[in-house]
Amino acid sequence: MNNSISTDLCSQPTQPVSTEKYTKLVQESTTQLHQPIQSILTTLDLRASALSKLANFESALRDATVIQQLSPSSALGYIRAATIYSEQGKQHHVIVVCNRGLDLVNSSDPDYATLQHIKADAMERQNRRVDFITQLPINIVATTLIPMFTDTFPLDAFKPYGLRFETKDMQDEPGLERCSQLVRFARHIKELVVHRYSKESWLSDLLRDNDFCALREISIEGVAYGYMDRFVSSLESVASTLTHLDVHEDLNEKAPMAKILSTCPQPGFA
């Protein structure tokens, strides 16, 4: 029975001539027609529920769609379809079905509020985010997840056993407040590349206050006047692991090699 036929059969006919006896008979007969259709709707709803519990979602949704076609103004079919989609975690589909139902179901229908509630719940679930990244081993985060989300992230996981940090992608010198990712991965940083050190004491504080136990190489492409001694003094905190230092000198700021070599006496250091 298609939608138009069922709707026509179950609608109270308009009477051009009215008598109490036959008008009452028409009304009662039309009311009785609802009973087999309601029985079909209820049965379809029960079957759709059972099918979804058996993970036969396609067949369950087919029954829910038939309910909507047989009774488009009833909330039953929309609620069932929304429930099936929700069981699959398809919150967007839940919202679409609820919107369609809210457009067709009378707002005075007791189940109208149920549709509203299901929609609101789906929207909340859709906007929910689960932070599982902080629970993962740091090596997996650095070498696998970070490269998936950005091509210009300051941490470059170029080797499975160490990380490389560069400041070239930052418009200004980072400063400690902008180095939170570097601080977090400090124990795994193997190479540190700084393109310019000319502001405040962020680089010296960074090396002194954090555990760079895997750091082997430091490369600085420019150190401003007055900052070289401060930087060299901070090398003491990484001297036990540092083996390579590359500093590009400014004309007015020479690297004190004697102090550097006495601070970092590792074999092969240059």
Residue at 110 is within a domain: yes
What is the C-alpha to C-alpha distance for residues 111 and 117, in angstroms, rounded to an integer?
A: 10
Q: 46 and 22: one domain?
A: yes
Please measure the distance between the N-terminal and C-terminal CA atoms of the chain and give it in whole angstroms.
88
Q: How many domains does the chain have?
A: 2
The boundaries of the domain holding residue 104 are: 5-127
Give the residue, 212 or 99, on which the prediction is more confident.
Answer: 99
* 3 state DSSP class of 192: strand
Side-chain-facing half-sphere of 169: CA atoms under 13 Å: 11
Q: 147 and 122: one domain?
A: no
Span 142-187, pLDDT tens digits:
666 666 654 444 444 334 334 555 554 444 445 555 567 677 778 8
For residue 41, the domain's CATH number is 1.25.40.10
Span 221-266, pLDDT tens digits:
777 776 777 777 778 878 888 888 887 766 555 666 776 777 776 6
Q: 158 and 249: one domain?
A: yes
Q: Long-range CB contacts (< 8 A, 24+ apart) of 2-9?
A: 2/69, 3/69, 3/70, 3/72, 6/37, 6/70, 6/71, 7/72, 9/33
Q: Is the pTM of this model over 0.75?
A: no
* Mean pLDDT, the chain, integer: 74
What is the C-alpha to C-alpha distance for residues 82 and 126, in angstroms, rounded to an integer?
A: 14
Q: Give strand pairing partners of 246.
A: 219
**What φ, ψ does residue 120 adopt, rounded to 5°?**
-60, -40
Residue 238 CB burial class (10 angstroms; 0-12, 13-18, ≥19): buried
Domain edge (last residue) among 97, 127, 157 = 127
Closest to 103 in 3D by CA, of 120, 89, 116: 116
Percent of residues, the chain, with pLDDT higher than 90: 21
Domain edge (last residue) among 73, 93, 127 = 127
Tell me, what's the pLDDT at 12? 53
Q: 122 and 142: one domain?
A: no
Say yes or no to pLDDT of 84 above 80.
yes
* Most confident option among 25-34, 70-79, 122-131, 236-245: 70-79
Residues 6+ apart with CB under 8 A from 253: 223, 224, 225, 226, 227, 228
Give the residue, 59 or 82, on which the prediction is more confident.
Answer: 82
Q: 29 and 58: one domain?
A: yes
Residue at 268 is within a domain: no
Say yes or no to pLDDT of 198 above 60.
yes
Q: 16 and 114: one domain?
A: yes
Say yes or no to pLDDT of 80 above 80.
yes
Span 108-139, pLDDT tens digits:
999 999 999 999 999 998 887 766 666 777 66
H helices of the chain, where? 3-10, 20-53, 57-70, 76-87, 91-104, 112-127, 138-140, 146-149, 180-184, 202-209, 228-234, 257-263
Q: 115 and 232: one domain?
A: no
